[in-house]
Amino acid sequence: MHVFSNAMRAAAIAAIAITGTVAVSSPSFAKTVMVGGAPMYPSKNIVENAVNSKDHTTLVAAVKAAGLVETLSGPGPFTVFAPTNAAFAKLPKGTVEMLVKPENKKTLTAILTYHVLPGHVSAADIVAAIKKGGGKAEFKTVNGESLTFMRKGKSVLIMDAKGDTAKVTIPNVEQSNGVIHVINTVLLPG
């Protein structure tokens, strides 16, 4: 039997209200997954794990510049779609350097929170929602805009507000405060 704290109960209610999905804590049987040459321990939070991934140094720098470290280190749960360094490199030259400047913090925060869903949303949850939606599913992000999910073969694709798509390359990297799904393209809000 699980006992939920008031904070966990409030987070679950908020996640259900916003996304229509149930927020659950990380399973105790979650395994350690390698991402960017580093183990992602289910006992550590999103930030504690991400800082060790050599494939996510740009994302970590952006999270720091946006002032989101404390939030993403918090209890959550959060579902983070984590673009790799190669995903950031696909953006037009100079975009990342421009976004991490203090005067662009609001824009950077909007982009980063567009990669976060409230609650714990597993790959199985996403696939079930796609099936239920007849091939597509929408989830509302923390920034208030939606992402559209679909399948192509066995892959899960995410379409952003601009019509660009990212592929989930490593699903279900469990964290103590949620789950990370590694993606190959930066998602951009409208």
Judge whether 189 lies within some domain.
no
Judge whether 1 lies within some domain.
no
Judge whether 188 lies within some domain.
no
Judge whether 190 lies within some domain.
no
Sequential pLDDT tens for the chain (190 residues): 333 333 333 333 333 333 333 333 444 457 888 787 788 888 998 998 888 899 999 999 999 999 999 999 999 899 999 999 999 999 999 999 999 999 999 999 999 999 999 999 999 999 999 999 999 999 999 999 999 999 999 999 999 999 999 999 999 999 999 999 999 999 999 9
Can you give the residue range of the structural domain that contains 69?
Answer: 6-183
Phi and psi at residue 150, in whole multiples of 5°? -150, 170
- Distances 124 to 14, 128, 139 between C-alpha atoms, Å: 21, 6, 14
Domains contained in the chain, number = 1
Judge whether 160 lies within some domain.
yes
Q: Please give the model's pTM, rounded to 2 decimal places.
A: 0.83
Judge whether 101 lies within some domain.
yes
Retrieve residue 70's tokens.
């404390």
Judge whether 43 lies within some domain.
yes
Q: Which of 174, 146, 187 is nearest to 26 (CA)?
A: 174
Judge whether 103 lies within some domain.
yes
CATH number at residue 65: 2.30.180.10
| H/E stretch holding 79 | strand 78-83
Measured distance CA(179)–CA(30) in Å, rounded = 10
Tell the residue number behind the tokens 């869903």, with chain if given.
117
> What single letter denotes the amino acid at residue 90?
K
